[in-house]
Structure 1
Amino acid sequence: MPSIMPAVSAADSKENGDIKLETAPFDPRFPNQNQTRYCYQSFIDYHRCHAVKGEDYEPCEYFKKVFNSICPIAWIEKWNTQIEENRFPGKIQ
């Protein structure tokens, strides 16, 4: 049975401008399968980085990439709402 979708090579995806999918890299501080702490700590680190270095500091985006990769979207939305309402339980500043 022929496949419906044609195979796309890496060269084709670069030429077409396709999005490269990645996940968070290994962090030896969080060696277990449960990545909840890694998710939460990356979220905190991102907001701390922006608080200290400013919104335009590019290296902070690493933490954003990590937490967007491993955190459930509902958690991120909840935490962002809590930050906006000044009731987030973590220490950011």
Structure 2
Amino acid sequence: MLDADAQKPPMGKWPTPPFDPRFPNQNQTRNCYQNFLDYHRCVKAMNRRGKSTEPCEYYFRVYRSLCPISWVQRWNEQIKEGTFAGKI
């Protein structure tokens, strides 16, 4: 997985994630969760093919921007324990 510190843009360069027509409302909880799943699915698929995970960085940046850190930490712990409810 990508290191969070390595993915930080330079100071003052925190771009807002682009508009996603699948999530038109102000509540971006589903957008956060979907991008988290998409990132992990992308990494899994790229590793299986033996390719670079660089294209997955987009999903990483979006979910890191939208999701509360506590959610991401809990989801990552659940993935490690094998109790995560999402299908990756």
Smaller-chain TM-score range? 0.7 to 0.9
Q: For residue 52 of structure 1, give the secondary structure of its aligned residue in structure 2.
A: helix
What TM-score, normalized to structure 1?
A: 0.76
Distance in 1 (alpha carbons) for counterparts of 2:45 and 2:55: 12
Give CA deviations for 1:69-93 in whole Å, capped at 9, x if unaligned: 000100000000000001100000x
| Residues 10-35 of structure 1 deviation map (CA, whole Å, 9 limit, x = unaligned) | xxxxxxx6451112111001000010
1:48 corresponds in structure 2 to 41
Q: Which residue does the alignment assign to 1:25? A: 18
Identity, % of aligned positions? 58
- The number of residues matched between the two structures is 76
Question: Which runs of 5 or more residues in structure 2 are unaligned?
Answer: 1-9
CA distance in 2, matches of 1:18, 1:27: 25
Aligned to 1:72: 68
**Stretches of 4+ moved more than 3 A in 1?**
none
Q: Counterpart of 2:70 in 1: which secondary structure?
A: helix
Amino acid aligned to 1:58: E
Q: Which residue of 1 aligns with 2:79?
A: 83
Q: How does the TM-score come out when normalised to structure 2?
A: 0.80
Please tell me the root mean square deviation across aligned C-alpha atoms, in Å.
1.5
Deviations 1:37-71 (A, max 9, x none): 00000000000000111273211010000000000
